[in-house]
Structure formats: C-alpha cells, structure tokens
A and B are shown apart, each in its own frame.
Chain A
C-alpha cells in the first residue's frame, strides 16, 4: 500500500510540475485570442523559466537569508501540496493523509514565506503587498476550512482523497445543492488564494494595484523562477482539486499503470477546461477595489457556512 502511494505521489509531482507552466501558457493564450492577438504560445512560460534560471541574481546589501529561502519554501510547499492532493489518484499516503487542515496549513506556510519576503525587502511596495496578501489570506482561511468541512459531512471524513472517492462512487453527491454551494465558495477561495481577477491582477504594472506582484519586485533570476513556478503549481493543484470535486471520473483509485495514465489524461483535460474557463471569465472582469474584496470573501464564507448547516439539518 505504501509503495503504491509513493508511486502515485511521485507521478503527481512530475505531472503537475510539467503541466503547471502549460496551464499558465494556455490561460495567457486564451486571453490573447480573446483580445484578437496571436499570443506567445503554450510553451512560453517554460521558455521564461529556462531563461530565468540562466541569469545571475541581483541582491541588495542588507537583504537577509529570507530573500533566498522564501522562494524555496514556497516552491517546496506547493510541491508537497501537489503530491498530497488527490489529483491523478485518490490514494492517501499511509502516515501523511491529505487531511484538510494539514493541506491548508502547508499552503499557508508558502503564503507566510512570500509575505515575509515582501517585508524583508524594506521597500514600501513590499510591505504594502505583504499587508494586503496577509489580510486576504486571513479572511480566506475560514471559508476554505468551512467549505471543505461542508463537503466532508456526507462522506464522514475530512481526508480529501476519501471525499473524492466518495463522490466518484456516488455521483448524486456532486449534484446535491449543498455540495454545489460549497464548491462555489471554494471557487472564490481558489481565485483569492492564487491571486487571479477579481481579487488581484497578475499582469498589472501599477504598484498600487498589486498584491502578489508587489512582494516579488525584489526577486530576480532563480529566486523569481522558484516563486513563479511555485505559484503556478499552486494554481494547477487547486484547479485540479476543483476539477476532481466537480467531475471525479477518471481519478484513479489505485496504482495500476493504466489507471494512472487515464488519471493523467483526465487531469490534463480538466485543467485545460477549468483554466480556459477561468481565463475567459477574467476577460469580462475588472479587478475589485481592495476594500471591496473583504465583502466578496465574507459572501463566500456565508455560502460555505450555509452549506454546512444545511447539510446537517437536511441529513
């Protein structure tokens, strides 16, 4: 059992790392085509990464070890989450189950690392990005815990792999209204956590509108490469999780090679569909004013809480 789980985790790591830049490339392409442009191509993020790794970093005097360590921590935490979440297969590791709070805490470890990076730069922009980022993270955490809790109620366990398996075996769970409400709340959480519109604009150049970008203004070369890759892997993992919660068919329940291949193919399809959908939605949206974002997050919390109470009172 543990060897199978280890194989699955390794496969997930490799696949998600390979797919994440392609996902971002796809999202940029969809946006470009909507604007009537040709776009840089699916492989452009991989080209950008390769070029970044070949540059010499510039670091200011007085910058501490956090400038070097935070990108590694972010990337490592994103990789662990990608290995733990039920993306290709819903097989939990024996002593490290993909329990709700453990996964959320690992994501938050990466969030904190980037926030400290922003503060360490000693610039006003870094502090501003860090402050806004942590405010959003603080307001998102209750929603994510309560939304996954709502999804765990009909299943009886808060382990994500078991939740996905239960939805695979009983498709009626997916269409239940409480489940849909919880998934909508989770969707808003994913948008806020990964810094997409309408919470944050990843392509902005105006520092006063930045949340995530402001914290990485000081990073260059490989530090920037790890930060970018870490964010992309997070986006891919969370979108993959959303896809598996909405349409779990194709997720493998074991480590048999054929089922893993099927899992990889279906994961690619789900990521492509969700990524393209998200990007297309972003074309029609403008970024929310920063002080309207807590209203959006409070609304998603109310939805999640409604889902939890309804699932108990209706059961």
Chain B
C-alpha cells in the first residue's frame, strides 16, 4: 500500500469515525472536542497526502460500487495534490476552531457535526478524484453537506432560510452544468477518467460546448459575477466556521474545476476562451470589491471580498490561456503560477479573516461594523489575526497576498509584450482592473479593521466583549502565522506550485525569495525586511532615547475642540467611512434611499422627526435574477391553466403524447 493510498484511507476513516461519534455522543461539549479533533486529524492526513502527491508520489484508491461504472477512483496528481493541501489545511483550522465555537446551541448539534465531517470529507476528495464519477460524487456530497450546514441557524431569522434556498438552487444548477460538461467530454473521448479525457486533444465545437458548460458550472460554484448572488447571502448567514470553510475551501474547488478544465482537460484552448475568462474575472473583481467596500455587515464584506479574489484568480487563469494561445508559453506559465499563488494566499487569509469575524460574533453577537469598535484592547488575539488577514487581503507587504498580486502584475505587464493585437489591448485593461481592485481592497480592509477594532465601542455589546476560548485563538493565530510565513519565504511555495503545472521557469532566489527569470523580475521579502529594519533602526533608537528624556503625559480626553462630549456615537461608522466612495460609484451600486419627514401636528413648517433609510442590494440580483424569477413565476401561473381538474383533458393529453411517440418512433 503506498503512502498516498494510506493517507486517503486514513482521511475517510477518521471522517467516518467523526460522523459516528457525532451521532453517538450525548453532550455538546464532548461532541465538539471529539469530532473536532477527528476532523482536524483527517484534514491533517489530507495535508500529508496532498504534499506527497505534489512531490510526485502516486497511489490510487478504488471504491467499488454496485451501480455502473463499477468503481470510482481516487488518485491525486500534482495539481490535485496542491488543492488537497489547501482545502485540508483550511479544514484543519476550521475543525480546531469549531472545537471552541460549536459547543453550544444549534451549531453544536448532531446534525451540524455530521454535516461538517461529511463536508470536510467531500471537499478533501474532490481534488483527489481521478475520474468523473468520483469527482461528481464528492462534489455532490460537499454541496449537500454545506446546504445542511447553512441551514443550521435557521431558527434565528428568515434570512437564513432564504440564503439556504438561493444557495441550494445555485449549487444544484452548477452541478447540472458540470455534469453536462463532463458528460460531453466523456462522450467524445469515450472514457470517464480524467487522464484519458486530457489525452483526447479535443478541439472545435465539442470542446467549446464543453468549455462553456464547465465554465458556467464551475464559475457558479466559485462565485463569478453574474452567478455570485448566492455567495453574500450564504456566507453571511452560515455559522462562522462554515463560512470560513466555504469561502476559503469550497470556492477554491470551483477555481480548481476551472484550472482543471483549462490546464488538464482542454489545454489547447483558443484565444476567445482566455478573453472570456479575463472579462468575467475582471467584472467579478471590480464588482466584488465595490460591494465589499460599501458593506457594513462584516461577513457580507468578507463574502464580497471572496468574489473579488475569485475574479482575480479567473483573470489570471484567463490571461494564461490567452497567452498560451498567442504562443507565449513562458509568460503563460507565470500567469498560471500567479493564479495558483492567488488561490493559496486567498485560502490562508480568508480563513483567518472569517475565523476572526466569527470570534467577534461569538463575543458580541454583532455582525454590523456600525455597532462594533474598540475590540482591539478587549480581544487582542482576534485583533492580531484580523489585522494580519487584512494586511494580506489588501496586498500589502509582508504577506502572501502581496506576493500573489505582485506575480500577477508581473505576468500581465510582461505578457503585453507579445506581438498580438488582442493581447496588447487586453493586458493593459487587466492591469488597470487589478490596480483599481487593489486600491479599493485597501479602503475596504482599513475600514473593516479600523472601524471594528480601533477607537471606542459603539454599543454596549461591543464594550462587553471578551477574548474567545483557546481553540479559536489557536486556529486564528495559526492562520495568521501561515500568512506571514508564506509572505516572507514565497520561493519554495512558488517552485512547488510551478512544478505542479509543469512550469519550469520559476525558481527561488536569495533568502527564500521568488525569481521569475522569464519576465526578469524577482522579489525577496526577507531582504526587503532587512533593508526596512536597517532603515527603521535609527528612528526606533531616536524614539526610545527621546521617550526617556521627554516622557509622555496621559490626558483624559481626545481633542474635540474643547467640548466635553466623547460620545462614541460621534465616531465615524463603516457606512460613513465608505460614503465618499458610494457617491463616486453611485451608478454602479444603485442604492435606494428613502427619507420620511414627519411634521408637527400644529404646524407644517416645523419638523418633528426625519427618518432616513438606505438600502444597498446586489445590483445583479435585482436587475438580472428578479426579472427571471418573476418571469418563471408568470410562466408557472400560466401553466396552471393546463391543469383544470378535468379528467377528460388529462386523458386527451396522454393520448396526444402516445400519438407523438408513435410518430417519432416511426421516423
């Protein structure tokens, strides 16, 4: 038995044991500790298996089934191994976190833990699947388990049920499209294993049909605009550890699907595939970050930020496809490595951010940034984790988000040197989009961290916040540590990712830095930190010396023009912070505003009360989905006329159907 086989079996076994214990154990605390530990161990084995697969070891697990085709095959290759590592690492952190988070209430129920264990297993098996049936089975297991998890809190508010309904509908739609696409591929290559499908070298109309179907299917799962409408609802209403797993791991698997299609299954795609992916990626990135920057619900902000990052990943993948089709394979390879770096970095910082948001929710019961504040001194570990995650999300040094965005920009800038009209128009546009999203991401995360954790609490619940239990703290700090470490030594990570997709041109340089000789660029964060340290040293020494000579004096009030009011209500809120931006992008966001003025009974000239309401919905949902839903409703209502209760009419329908079948069969 090879190591990979043993790893896969260990994962399945441990998850199964977690499911059994979840059903058997009585108290919620015991359930949480036992199942959390088992899920974390299973995920740990997943990381090991994935690492072994990335380094080239092979191994296959065949699961026999009674139905045809008879067995499903789990055999991760290098690319699958990368995603197994990412997903398993996320699940490991989420499981450890859930030991402390899912101890009470509906989050700690049997259903919740069974669903979490199955969800983790499904996610870990999807990248390991080597044939169609295994892939689809693991995919659907993941989808069903996550729907159950989204519904856990449904007693809390009707928004949860609505979110679960949207999520279920969109995820089954994506499943349908993926089945259709993979079936087209299987039918034209005659086999259902991915290895045979990729050797098929399809082209022309069949390949394009398969690409469109699979692109839509995986794009829906990944949350690409305009199929993203389920994302902000589901990720905001699900319990926080589930949101973390969904945002950091499940969405990653949607991107895995797209990478699988473009790199393995249909590698020689024409330019228009690349341009389509770049266009949708750019749209998702811009729209996602715009909505995130004006959101004041912390989980909705993070969910839209996921849309933005997925947009960037799809943009990177699309530019890789475009460059490969324009005969620049070296730069295309760099763009693909940029896509994978974005995947890894997004997983690490998004899990940290969502776990931090969950910690805040656990401590205060609040998700609204407008009612938070001053959490820094009250919850120092959460604040640190959230700060490091925000640093990476805003692509600032030193963090993995910075390295990923740098690689993407290098690939785009140097990709434009290709002598092709289409490429020279698309690449500068892509650079402009990436730059704009980077700027807006800065504002979003300064807002999220600054309003939520700094200054003074804006409500009593925020004032009474206390730090979270140990498992939650450990998970957040581990996530933050990974973000920083990957940002400091990106070289080995870059090389491993490049090898997994067959790109030879990425190497390590200096003290763990990343070297891209094809585009003539290198980045050594450790050297940058050393330079920063040398430069900052005189400043620090001077500050310390001056602090000794001129000690600071503490005063009660901040300077508020001599007034006495230090009411926390006078601070800026998240809504006011983003107000200038909302004005600039008014046409793209289309907020609805309502002002109601109540006059005094005695005189119409005097105002008793003014009520101002602002609602910021999702433009795509309101302009695209609602009309379609209304149309479907009208069609359904019209179709009721067919069912008027008369048995004669029903018999006539059956008779007509029989005639039609006989006529069709005779043709």
Nearest opposing residue in chain B for A9, CB measure: B531
Q: For the complex, is A35 an interface residue (Cβ under 8 Å from B)? A: no
Segment 51-104 of A: residues with Cβ below 8 Å from B? 53-64, 66, 72, 75-76, 79-80, 83-84, 93, 95-97, 99-102
Contact between B440 and A120, CB atoms less than 8 A apart: no
With an 8 Å Cβ cutoff, the count of chain B residues facing the other chain is 80
Contact between B442 and A158, CB atoms less than 8 A apart: no
Contact between A80 and B570, CB atoms less than 8 A apart: no
Interface string of B405-417 (1 = CB under 8 A from A): 1100110010011
Chain A contacts for B451, CB-based, 8 A = 119
Nearest opposing residue in chain B for A66, CB measure: B454
Q: For the complex, is A288 an interface residue (Cβ under 8 Å from B)? A: no
Taking a contact as CB atoms closer than 8 A, the residue among A72, A96, A222 that contacts B527 in the complex is: A96
With an 8 Å Cβ cutoff, the count of chain A residues facing the other chain is 82
Chain B contacts for A111, CB-based, 8 A = 442
With contacts A59-B554, A121-B455 taken as known, whether A146 is within 8 angstroms of B584 at the C-beta atoms is no
Contact between A80 and B405, CB atoms less than 8 A apart: no
Chain A contacts for B428, CB-based, 8 A = 146, 149, 305, 308-309, 312
Taking a contact as CB atoms closer than 8 A, the residue among B374, B438, B521, B543 that contacts A72 in the complex is: B543
Segment 280-315 of A: residues with Cβ below 8 Å from B? 290-291, 294, 301, 305, 308-309, 312-313
Pick out which of these stretches binds chain A: B235-243, B337-345, B533-541, B655-663. Answer: B533-541
Chain B contacts for A131, CB-based, 8 A = 572, 576-580
Q: For the complex, is B446 an interface residue (Cβ under 8 Å from A)? A: yes
Q: For the complex, is B425 an interface residue (Cβ under 8 Å from A)? A: yes
CA distance A97 to B413 in the complex (A): 16
- Minimum C-beta distance from B296 to chain A (A): 13
CA distance A130 to B524 in the complex (A): 31
Nearest opposing residue in chain A for B441, CB measure: A138
Q: For the complex, is A166 an interface residue (Cβ under 8 Å from B)? A: no
With contacts A61-B554, A142-B435 taken as known, whether A135 is within 8 angstroms of B581 at the C-beta atoms is yes
Contact between A123 and B446, CB atoms less than 8 A apart: no
- Minimum C-beta distance from B535 to chain A (A): 5
- Minimum C-beta distance from A104 to chain B (A): 9
Contact between B540 and A132, CB atoms less than 8 A apart: no
Contact between B531 and A80, CB atoms less than 8 A apart: yes
With contacts A63-B558, A141-B438 taken as known, whether A80 is within 8 angstroms of B535 at the C-beta atoms is yes
Contact between B539 and A109, CB atoms less than 8 A apart: no
Q: For the complex, is B424 an interface residue (Cβ under 8 Å from A)? A: yes
- Minimum C-beta distance from A109 to chain B (A): 5
Q: For the complex, is A127 an interface residue (Cβ under 8 Å from B)? A: yes
With contacts A120-B455, A222-B543 taken as known, whether A99 is within 8 angstroms of B521 at the C-beta atoms is yes
Chain B contacts for A130, CB-based, 8 A = 446, 450, 572, 577
Q: For the complex, is A277 an interface residue (Cβ under 8 Å from B)? A: no
Chain B contacts for A53, CB-based, 8 A = 546, 550
Q: For the complex, is A226 an interface residue (Cβ under 8 Å from B)? A: yes
Q: For the complex, is A245 an interface residue (Cβ under 8 Å from B)? A: no
- Minimum C-beta distance from A96 to chain B (A): 5
Q: For the complex, is A184 an interface residue (Cβ under 8 Å from B)? A: no
Segment 99-152 of A: residues with Cβ below 8 Å from B? 99-102, 105-106, 108-109, 111-112, 115-116, 119-124, 126-128, 130-132, 134-135, 137-142, 144-146, 149, 152
CA distance A20 to B349 in the complex (A): 38
CA distance A102 to B377 in the complex (A): 32
Contact between B406 and A101, CB atoms less than 8 A apart: yes
Q: For the complex, is B513 an interface residue (Cβ under 8 Å from A)? A: yes
Chain B contacts for A218, CB-based, 8 A = 558-559
Pick out which of these stretches binds chain A: B90-98, B202-210, B256-264, B395-403. Answer: B395-403
- Minimum C-beta distance from A17 to chain B (A): 10
CA distance A139 to B443 in the complex (A): 10
- Minimum C-beta distance from A276 to chain B (A): 29
Q: For the complex, is B646 an interface residue (Cβ under 8 Å from A)? A: no
Q: For the complex, is A44 an interface residue (Cβ under 8 Å from B)? A: no
Interface string of B18-36 (1 = CB under 8 A from A): 0000000000000000000
Nearest opposing residue in chain B for A120, CB measure: B454
Contact between B396 and A93, CB atoms less than 8 A apart: no
Nearest opposing residue in chain A for B582, CB measure: A135
Q: For the complex, is A178 an interface residue (Cβ under 8 Å from B)? A: no
Q: For the complex, is B583 an interface residue (Cβ under 8 Å from A)? A: yes
Nearest opposing residue in chain B for A221, CB measure: B550
Chain B contacts for A294, CB-based, 8 A = 584
CA distance A76 to B576 in the complex (A): 30
Chain B contacts for A122, CB-based, 8 A = 454-456, 558, 566, 568, 571
With contacts A102-B406, A122-B568, A134-B443 taken as known, whether A13 is within 8 angstroms of B535 at the C-beta atoms is yes
Q: For the complex, is A157 an interface residue (Cβ under 8 Å from B)? A: yes
Taking a contact as CB atoms closer than 8 A, the residue among A72, A115, A305 that contacts B536 in the complex is: A72
Chain B contacts for A261, CB-based, 8 A = none
Q: For the complex, is B464 an interface residue (Cβ under 8 Å from A)? A: no
Chain A contacts for B520, CB-based, 8 A = 157
Segment 557-594 of B: residues with Cβ below 8 Å from A? 557-560, 566, 568, 570-572, 576-581, 583-584
CA distance A131 to B532 in the complex (A): 28
Q: For the complex, is B640 an interface residue (Cβ under 8 Å from A)? A: no
Q: For the complex, is B388 an interface residue (Cβ under 8 Å from A)? A: no
With contacts A76-B535, A130-B450 taken as known, whether A313 is within 8 angstroms of B424 at the C-beta atoms is yes
Chain B contacts for A123, CB-based, 8 A = 558-560, 570-571
- Minimum C-beta distance from B550 to chain A (A): 5
Chain B contacts for A119, CB-based, 8 A = 446, 450-451, 454-455, 572
Chain A contacts for B555, CB-based, 8 A = 58-61
Taking a contact as CB atoms closer than 8 A, the residue among B438, B450, B531, B584 that contacts A83 in the complex is: B531
Chain A contacts for B406, CB-based, 8 A = 99, 101-102
Taking a contact as CB atoms closer than 8 A, the residue among A102, A116, A128 that contacts B446 in the complex is: A116
Contact between A120 and B413, CB atoms less than 8 A apart: no
- Minimum C-beta distance from A49 to chain B (A): 12
With contacts A99-B521, A218-B558, A222-B550 taken as known, whether A138 is within 8 angstroms of B454 at the C-beta atoms is no
Q: For the complex, is A217 an interface residue (Cβ under 8 Å from B)? A: yes
Chain B contacts for A144, CB-based, 8 A = 435
Most B CB atoms within 10 A — which of A54, A56, A141, A144? A141
With contacts A99-B521, A101-B409, A112-B396 taken as known, whether A146 is within 8 angstroms of B432 at the C-beta atoms is yes
Contact between A309 and B425, CB atoms less than 8 A apart: yes
Contact between B553 and A58, CB atoms less than 8 A apart: yes
Contact between A158 and B413, CB atoms less than 8 A apart: yes
Taking a contact as CB atoms closer than 8 A, the residue among A57, A142, A312 that contacts B416 in the complex is: A312
Chain A contacts for B511, CB-based, 8 A = 95
- Minimum C-beta distance from B432 to chain A (A): 5
CA distance A60 to B536 in the complex (A): 26
Nearest opposing residue in chain B for A84, CB measure: B531
CA distance A284 to B91 in the complex (A): 61
Interface string of A189-218 (1 = CB under 8 A from B): 000000000000000000000000000011
With contacts A108-B396, A141-B442 taken as known, whether A59 is within 8 angstroms of B552 at the C-beta atoms is yes
Chain B contacts for A63, CB-based, 8 A = 558
Nearest opposing residue in chain A for B440, CB measure: A138
Taking a contact as CB atoms closer than 8 A, the residue among A61, A105, A126, A153 that contacts B556 in the complex is: A61
Q: For the complex, is B328 an interface residue (Cβ under 8 Å from A)? A: no
Contact between B584 and A112, CB atoms less than 8 A apart: no
CA distance A132 to B447 in the complex (A): 12
Q: For the complex, is A156 an interface residue (Cβ under 8 Å from B)? A: yes
Contact between B432 and A105, CB atoms less than 8 A apart: no
With contacts A96-B531, A115-B446, A131-B579 taken as known, whether A60 is within 8 angstroms of B557 at the C-beta atoms is yes
Some 23 contacts from A to B, beta carbons below 8 A apart, are A57-B550, A62-B374, A62-B456, A72-B540, A79-B539, A80-B532, A96-B528, A99-B406, A99-B521, A112-B446, A120-B455, A122-B558, A124-B572, A127-B577, A131-B572, A131-B577, A131-B580, A137-B439, A138-B436, A141-B436, A142-B436, A146-B432, A291-B583
Known pairs A83-B531, A95-B524 / 14 extra A-B pairs, C-beta < 8 Å: A53-B546, A56-B553, A59-B552, A62-B374, A95-B510, A108-B394, A108-B396, A109-B396, A112-B442, A116-B450, A119-B572, A122-B455, A138-B293, A141-B438
Closest 9 CB pairs between A and B? Answer: A127-B572, A141-B439, A119-B450, A138-B439, A122-B455, A95-B527, A142-B435, A76-B536, A145-B435
